[in-house]
Amino acid sequence: MLTTLILFLAVLLFVGCSENNVAGGTSIDKGIVALGEWKVEGVSQKGPFITGSTVSVLELGGNSLLQTGKVFKSSIKSDKGDFAVSGTALASQYALLEVNGYYRNEVTGKKSSGPLTLNAITDLSSRENVNVNLLTHLEYERVKHLVSEGMSVKEAKAQAEREILETMAMNESSGAFEDLDIFKSGDENAKLLAISILLQGDQDVAGFTERLGKFSMELARSGSWNDSATRTSIADWAYEMELLNDSHDDEPDEDDPNNSYISLREDSSSRGFAGIRENILKWGISDSLPDFEKYAALFWADNYGLGKCSDSNKGDTAVNANALSKRYGEYFVCDGTRWAFANRKTSNYEGTFGTLIDERDGHTYKTVEIGEQVWMAENLNYDYQTEITHSLCYQDLEENCTKFGRLYPFAAAVDSAGLFGDGGLGCGSDASSNTCTLKDSARGVCPEGWHLPSEDEWEQLFTAVGGALRAATVLRTADGNGTDDYGFNIIRTGDIENDYNDVYYWATSSKKSTYDFYPSFLIFHMYQDMIDSPHFQNNISPYSANSVRCVMD
């Protein structure tokens, strides 16, 4: 009788153990499901990884999420970043998807200069589609950390996703990161694209990889990213992109036969977020993108400590309280949807800008048609360098070249070395030299097809806008005294040796006095409390460095 009872209990124990077998394998971890045949597909995006990039599925063992060593490999099928991987016999439903290769950079529009690796942790028992992207990569180390502290994978992923969005000032409800796609509509996809663009910023692939790694590791430990210096640098870059975006609202019509001088640069990021949007659309993967600009603005506004902006506080002002910011102390006003620089004025120009690409360095300039002339609507920023002379940045700061264009001594402005033509050959610092045979409308340092304006051509411009006195207002940037009616946007840059309240432009002139020759230049007064007509002088030293505006041949 006792023997029979013991055998009965043993059978019950065996049956109980057998019932723990799941999908052909025995699990000692709660909730772990062994898989037979499986398949997963999706897209891999920074921007999209290019054709041939490697895709790996790595088995993760149990609730520990440790790699077992079992790997299944495939590759990206097209430049859309799409992939498919299949296999059999996984001891756990949890897997790590790893993509390695070159990717398309959203900011520049070009392929990355080096490879990048992005990860995604997923549950293959409930998913056959997984997108690998920047957000799935950022959550990976955090999920592992939370699981090691006893949290389930599902709970860990939900918490990590909330923390990432919160630290990027985008803490609204969102879908699973594995479902997001930068080319699809919706706020969740807009957040992905915004974060991808913000973290890339002005970094090359090495700098971006380092930035991403530090973010990921700090997030894994603490659930946040508190690198104030890096965050502020990103915020300042993002705000600069928004300013550039606002200054290039009107774009040329590529199909307009009357704009034969217009061409578009492959890298349009010099036009801010609008240029970045154009770069991405040029890939031809989608004809629309989600509103990433909205979430980029939320990030820099949060970094500046401005608070929320909505209809409820429209018209309120706030100050940038971030002492690390280049824009520390500046005031912003809520327009009902987002924060804008409080002192910014609105240009009266309602026309369409053209675009000029300087083939020498790839730099892109806005252009504008006024009367019968076509002018550059920005100061020249070509870095002229010879043994005799070279261009300069105002106050020797490279950022001023970006804002104002470069300043040129006379010899550089007229191309005295003859790099691009003979119109100013020999007209160096010794301007009285008999070798100087300066021609009116010489090309000088201007791009091909453009030239330095002569005095007569400047006068023609003033006549077209209603005279020199009116030109002092309507050609000036919208800064209170100026209205920028024509998009010409003259801004205060100063001369290396002179007052910041004046702008000096070189003009060509073939006239010489009996004893000496001084170059001709135009003075455009930029005082805040007065309007004065621009006028020519020729008593400036050739060594002075002034701005250059070019006019089309």
Q: CB-based burial of residue 427 (10 Å sphere; 0-12 exposed, 13-18 middle, 19+ buried)?
A: buried
Helix (H) or strand (E) holding 296: helix 292-303
- Residue of higher predicted confidence among 1 and 317: 317
Q: Which domains does the chain have, with CATH numbers?
A: 31-187 (2.60.40.1120), 208-341 (no CATH), 354-552 (no CATH)
The pLDDT, as a whole number, for residue 528 is: 59
Give 21-59 pLDDT, tens digit per residue. Answer: 333 333 345 689 999 999 999 999 999 999 999 999 999
**Beta pairing, strands 54-61 & 94-101:** antiparallel
Alpha-carbon distance of 119 to 137, in angstroms, equals: 5
pLDDT at 294: 94
Tell me: pLDDT of 2 over 60.
no
Rounded Cα distance, 314 and 317, in Å? 9
Looking at residue 532, the DSSP 8-state letter turns out to be -
Helix H or strand E segment including 458: helix 455-464
For the cut 60, the answer to whether the pLDDT of residue 364 exceeds it is yes
Query: Could you read off the pLDDT of 477-498 as tens digits, one per residue?
Result: 877 678 889 999 988 764 444 4
Asked whether residue 375 carries a pLDDT value surpassing 50, the answer given is yes
Please give the pLDDT value at position 498: 46
Q: Which of 412, 421, 351 is nearest to 380 (CA)?
A: 412
User: C-alpha angle with apex 245: 242 to 248, nearest 5 degrees?
Assistant: 155
Single pTM value for the model: 0.60
Listed range (7-16, 67-76, 342-351) with the worst mean pLDDT: 7-16
Cβ-Cβ contacts under 8 Å for 359 (sequence gap 6 or more): 447, 448
Kind of pairing, strands 66-75 and 54-61?
antiparallel
- Summarised one tens digit per residue, pLDDT across range 499-550 is 456 788 988 865 544 344 567 878 877 765 567 788 888 777 777 888 999 9
Question: Is pLDDT of 401 > 60?
Answer: yes
pLDDT 10s digits, 279-319: 999 999 999 999 999 999 999 999 999 999 998 988 888 88
Q: What is the pLDDT of residue 480?
A: 64
Q: What is residue 216's predicted lDDT score, i.e. its pLDDT?
A: 97
Other Cβ atoms within 10 Å of 152 Cβ, number: 13
DSSP at 177: G
pLDDT of residue 415: 92
Mean pLDDT of the region 189-193: 97
Of the given ranges (134-143, 216-225, 401-410), which has the lowest mean pLDDT?
A: 401-410
- The whole-angstrom separation of Cα 122 and Cα 233 is 33
The dihedral over CA atoms of 249, 250, 253, 259, expressed in degrees to the nearest 10, equals -140
> Considering the chain, what percentage of its residues have pLDDT values greater than 90?
59
Interatomic CA distance for residues 194 and 173, integer angstroms: 16
How do strand 25-26 and strand 21-22 relate by DSSP bridges? antiparallel
Give one DSSP letter per residue of 348-396, joined into a string: ---S--EEEEETTTTEEEEEEEETTEEEESS------B-SS-B-B-GGG
Predicted confidence at residue 344, as pLDDT, reads 59
**pLDDT, mean of residues 246-263:** 40
Rounded Cα distance between 394 and 156, Å, is 52
pLDDT value at position 388? 86
Answer whether 393's CB lies under 8 Å from 407's CB. Answer: yes
Report yes or no: 122 and 99 within 8 Å, Cβ to Cβ: no
Q: Give, in order, the Cα–Cα distances in Å from 293 to each of 192, 193, 219, 228, 304.
A: 11, 9, 24, 22, 17
Please work out, in degrees rounded to the nearest 5, the angle formed at the alpha carbon of residue 489 by the alpha carbons of 484 and 491. Answer: 120
